[in-house]
Amino acid sequence: MDTQGALRARWSAQLLGGSGLTPTQVVDRAVALQGQDLPAVLRAIALRSAPGTTIADVRGAFDRGELVRSWPMRGTLFATTPAHLAALLGLTAERIRAQTARRRQQLGLDEGVLARARGILEPALAERPRTRAELLALWQADGIDTSAGRGYHLLFHHAVGGLAHWGAFAGDEQLFTATAAPAPAGDDALVDIARRYVAARGPVTEADLAWWLKLPKTQVRRAAASADLEVVDVGGAPHVASAPADPGDTGVTLVPGFDEWILGYADRALTASPAAQAALVPGGNGVFRPAVLLDGRVVGTWRGRAAGRPDPSLELVERVGAEDRRRIEAALAAWPHG
């Protein structure tokens, strides 16, 4: 498979042309979608769903408990389903806790403080879901210092421990919600996760999957070998895919910031040139801008309408023809997800 064919197959696997799926089905199929930026992940789910799906529809899936947001693999938030969250944490929680032990020590969050915080958190969430501000106030009132990132880390730590997750909405804010005791994940949980990851993003390398999961490559390699995946050569390198298909020229696609089209892979060279990658995250500040794709390749970044900005804006990085620019501007004007 040549690189353009691989790029188009990824576009199809990523559902960037939409689908017939509900928001919950979209996320379930992909295992999890990058959710560090809440408005962005709502848009990412909507654009992959059935025609006419709105941001309100996606929020409704969270309100019903079909979708959740948490830290299932590392210190980055993802949108996922309750079942996938339980399976992922079963694979990753111990490693995450070990990797963040030094940070807890730096923040003075020893086992005693963690236990006190949990003792306040559990009854509070049993009563009702809470905002972040409410929980920080409860801890602060009990003498637990939540300044300098301590409050955030307490939420993160107890979420990784399977106690709670971000769930239903109160206005534009998600509520921290008690997590039901999960059913034990079977031995084939990682195989299922590998199969879904590849089906929703392939062709990919095993290194992409290991990086995304933050699990050892040997463990991931065994799971991928059992997942009944097709091996394809892309640019001289082995990739795995699930029934790869080249849909032909995919035209203009707009994706929100922090999208899996960019952040679903360890190696982003297939998707964006070095100049485009620099434009997506200017200054390496970790904030990924929305991307403009032309037949799957990043050609620029964009911003939608907002208060004080009545019209969308476009910054091209790669050279495009006059007709392609008109197509991009038309797509910006027609962008339906706010």
Tokens of 194: 């590998």
Question: What is the predicted pLDDT for the residue at 186?
Answer: 65
Helix (H) or strand (E) holding 297: strand 297-303
**260 located within any domain:** yes
Report the domain count for the chain.
2
The angle subtended at Cα 219 by Cα 218 and Cα 224, nearest 5°, is 95
**238 located within any domain:** no
Same domain, 37 and 131: yes
Same domain, 266 and 139: no
Same domain, 256 and 165: no
Same domain, 174 and 278: no
Same domain, 161 and 258: no
Other Cβ atoms less than 10 A from the Cβ of 39: the count is 15
**195 located within any domain:** no
Question: What is the predicted pLDDT for the residue at 161?
Answer: 95
| Distant-in-sequence, close-in-space partners of 324: CB < 8 Å, separation ≥ 6 | 252, 294
Same domain, 140 and 21: yes
**82 located within any domain:** yes
Question: What is the predicted pLDDT for the residue at 246?
Answer: 79
Question: What is the predicted pLDDT for the residue at 338?
Answer: 78
Same domain, 165 and 292: no
Same domain, 54 and 164: yes
Burial class (CB in 10 A: 0-12, 13-18, 19+), 226: middle
Domain that residue 312 falls in:
252-334
Give the end of a domain, one of 151, 178, 205.
Answer: 178
Same domain, 151 and 31: yes
**264 located within any domain:** yes
**34 located within any domain:** yes
Give the end of a domain, one of 144, 178, 212.
Answer: 178
Residue type for 27, please?
A: V
Give the end of a domain, one of 178, 205, 230.
Answer: 178
Q: Estimate to the nearest angstrom the gap between the alpha carbon of 335 and the chain centroid.
A: 21
Task: Provide the residue count of the chain.
Answer: 338
Question: What is the predicted pLDDT for the residue at 203?
Answer: 95
**52 located within any domain:** yes
Report residues of the chain scoring pLDDT below 50: none
Same domain, 162 and 260: no
**40 located within any domain:** yes
The angle subtended at Cα 222 by Cα 221 and Cα 227, nearest 5°, is 95
